Structure 1
């Protein structure tokens, strides 16, 4: 069986605020934004580099108290998302200029150059350029 993880849901408080961050601050492509009725939408974003080939995020607006409580803590306080780049310095500078908040200075690990950043909703991400 050939399989891949195509889409991962990310619970957010507001569709438009999430689109604005991922598209405008991180440079993701808006793949889909379709109304589903009842105020719900099917909103998918992905890194602009070859979005058809990679995993997309489904920006899912929180519905109810349990989902609201999960915003920003969907992985129990750990870094839950990993954005790989082929040029850490370029993307770190671009993200910083776009107002992305990094929680640490870039560091060099055996697996690559990395720094943790947060989205406006509290989810933590690694920006990482893997070692060659």
Structure 2
């Protein structure tokens, strides 16, 4: 078996990123350790498992928030769009559009803490 464990997400500040992912999105901290030399490894992810995000401090010239240009980089799936949407709004997450209903589910594009585009999506129920 093979699976994708984590993906790297470039950040300017670990604590700022933790507040976004944990408070606004509802992720859990999977690892937050500081090693000899001051290097800090921070990983977050959905509470029930699945692929997580390794929050890596970016170099000064790194494309933070633009890792994939203007395209949507990540797709956050939920089984309760209304509740997750409300949670995110209450934490100041900026949505680029109102929720819309598509054949593949209820969806809206939102921005991460650096302006990068994400989809919040609830697939249709069978």
In the alignment, which of 66, 70, 76 is matched to residue 69 of structure 2? 76
Task: Give me the TM-score of the superposition, normalised by structure 2.
Answer: 0.93
Q: Is the 8 A contact 1:46 1:56 kept in 2?
A: yes
* Equivalent residue in structure 2 for 1:103, among 93, 96, 99: 96
How many Å separate the matches in 1 of 2:72 and 2:65?
10
Structure 1 stretches of 4+ with a deviation exceeding 4 A read none
5+ residue gaps in structure 1?
Answer: none
RMSD between aligned residues: 1.2
* TM-score (ref. length: structure 1): 0.89
- Asked if residue 57 in structure 1 is aligned to residue 47 in structure 2, the reply is no
Deviation at residue 64 of structure 1 after TM alignment: 4.1
What count of residue pairs does the alignment treat as equivalent? 125
Unaligned runs of 5+ in 2: none
